[in-house]
Amino acid sequence: MLGHYTPQDHHAALAALPALGLSAKLGGDPVRPLAAELLRLARAGLSARVAAGVEPPHVPACLDPLDDLVETGSTFADRCLRRWRGDLHRDPARYVAAYRV
């Protein structure tokens, strides 16, 4: 899947990913479809491990939160930032109240 990219492509993507997330590019290609394929492969691998009795049945569901991320391209940090600028009105007290565990 990655063999046709140069080491420079990989380094550039690694540098861009923290700031751009799934909007980053790898060798000019969007990262999001690659992430979707990697998620599909991970789920298939975990399902095979469950079928082989190596993992308990609930393990593939651990990947479920990543489905929304890959589908929308929006991370938890993106959503927090939108709320910070929106309904939280850049108010630290509102932020803490909204995200208190």
For every residue of 12-70, DSSP letters joined together read: HHHHHHHHHGGG-EETTEEHHHHHHHHHHHHHHHHHHHHHTTSS-TTGGGGGHHHHHHH
pTM comes to: 0.79
Structure tokens at 29: 């290609």
For helices 64-72 and 31-51, angle between their N-to-C axes, nearest 10 degrees: 160
What is the tens place of the pLDDT at every residue in 27-86?
999 999 999 999 999 999 999 999 999 999 999 999 999 999 999 999 888 899 999 999
Say which residues have a Cβ less than 8 Å from residue 6's Cβ, sequence separation at least 6: 27
Residue type, 54: V
What is the tens place of the pLDDT at every residue in 62-72?
999 999 999 99
